[in-house]
Amino acid sequence: MEFANPKILWLLVVVPLVVAYYVWRAMQGGASIVISTTDSLRSAPRTLRYYLRHLPIVLRVVALVLIILASARPQSVEHETKTETEGIDIVLAVDISTSMLARDLQPDRLTAAKEVASQFVANRQGDRIGLVVFAGEAFTQTPLTTDQSSLQTLLGRLRSGVVEDGTAIGNGLATAVNRLRESDSKSKIIILLTDGVNNRGQIAPLTVADIAKEQGIKVYTIGVGRNGTAPYPLFDQRGRVVDVVEAKVEIDEKMLQTIAEKTGGEYFRATDKTSLEQIYQQIDKMEKSKVEKFDITHIHEEYLIYALWALALLLLEFIIKYIVLKRIP
């Protein structure tokens, strides 16, 4: 509760003065009749009028307080904040080929990519994010969604070897573009992460890049793996690591750069987990959602109820004083 004219509340200091004046007048006494003795009056029963004799002044004082409060214009104030968010539709296209098990990123490329991508998802409040994975084939792990928890769970479950091995970058990118084709968002981006060279699939990556450009989709590409060679685990038939060998790192950086340039994105190279984290942080800063906040204040005038109660009390005072407690002139 707030008051539009709070200075009027200073008039409340008059209330104790009115009460004090009434007490003083009562102590002075009023009109009197001379009688020989008051003994018979002492034993007379006390009627309702006796107990109501001070009620009119009480009603008048309360009415005075209500009138002062009404004059100060009491208001109930509600503050509301509305947020309008113009989100970005994002598809993460992640390479899950067996080469992503190389250990130049700790503990390996795929695990590092999942952990960093999960943190990226957590920072994108209000955005719709989808997940596409590819190796020799490509498929949608989850369509565009704002359910960050479910998306992070699916990211954590990504495994290498669940589809035919290979690196079908074109197919992975095409699947991601299809996920965004019907999006009505003003901003649509793909973050394509791979550690190899396109060696499988039915569609060339640069052809898909042209389609993405026509669709207004920006593609950020990330090449994962250090230069030269990287430690790569060898597995037995039971999936146990039997040896770790140095394997040559091959990333088609020229192609990834061209895809990014065609679509207005940017190419990055991640040689360790720290640099991968920095890449996602940089993309996060470059592709910010538009958020506008509006502070709205609703003011409701409450003086009328005080005024009505004051009027009712003054009317009640009049009835009690001049009808119930009618005095002899």
Predicted confidence (pLDDT) per residue in 230-247, tens digit: 998 887 877 788 888 888
Q: Which of these, 60, 54, 12, 18, lies nearest to 313 by C-alpha position?
A: 60
Question: Do residue 150 and residue 282 come from a single domain?
Answer: yes
Question: Do residue 118 and residue 262 come from a single domain?
Answer: yes
Residue 294 forms part of a structural domain: no
* Mean pLDDT of all residues belonging to the chain: 86
Question: Do residue 54 and residue 127 come from a single domain?
Answer: no
Residue 175 forms part of a structural domain: yes
Q: How high is the pLDDT of residue 83?
A: 64
Q: Which residue has the higher pLDDT, 43 or 134?
A: 134
Question: Do residue 248 and residue 313 come from a single domain?
Answer: no
Question: Do residue 113 and residue 36 come from a single domain?
Answer: no
Backbone phi and psi for residue 89, each to the nearest 5 degrees, phi listed first: -90, 125
pLDDT at 263 over 60: yes
Return the bridge partners of 82, or none.
294
CATH number of domain containing 164 = 3.40.50.410
Residue 105 forms part of a structural domain: yes
Q: Which residue has the higher pLDDT, 55 or 268?
A: 268
Question: Do residue 70 and residue 94 come from a single domain?
Answer: no
Residue 154 forms part of a structural domain: yes
pLDDT at 223 over 50: yes
Residue 224 forms part of a structural domain: yes
pLDDT at 33 over 60: no
Distance, CA of 124 to CA of 82 (rounded, Å): 19
Question: Do residue 112 and residue 261 come from a single domain?
Answer: yes
* Confidence grade of residue 119 (pLDDT, cut at 50, 70, 90): very high
Question: Do residue 75 and residue 200 come from a single domain?
Answer: no
Question: Do residue 37 and residue 153 come from a single domain?
Answer: no
How many domains does the chain contain in total?
2
Residue 254 forms part of a structural domain: yes
Residue 36 forms part of a structural domain: yes
* Confidence grade of residue 314 (pLDDT, cut at 50, 70, 90): confident
Q: Token pair 């009056």 is at which residue?
A: 41
Q: Which of these, 141, 123, 124, lies nearest to 132 by C-alpha position?
A: 141
- Containing structural domain, residue 42: 2-79+300-324
Question: Do residue 126 and residue 257 come from a single domain?
Answer: yes
Q: What is the dihedral of CA 64, 68, 69, 74, to 10 degrees?
A: 150
* Confidence grade of residue 215 (pLDDT, cut at 50, 70, 90): very high
Locate all alpha helices (DSSP H) within 72-199, ordered by sequence.
109-123, 148-156, 169-181
Q: What is the mean pLDDT of residues 204-232?
A: 94
* Confidence grade of residue 329 (pLDDT, cut at 50, 70, 90): very low
Question: Do residue 163 and residue 187 come from a single domain?
Answer: yes
Question: Do residue 19 and residue 100 come from a single domain?
Answer: no
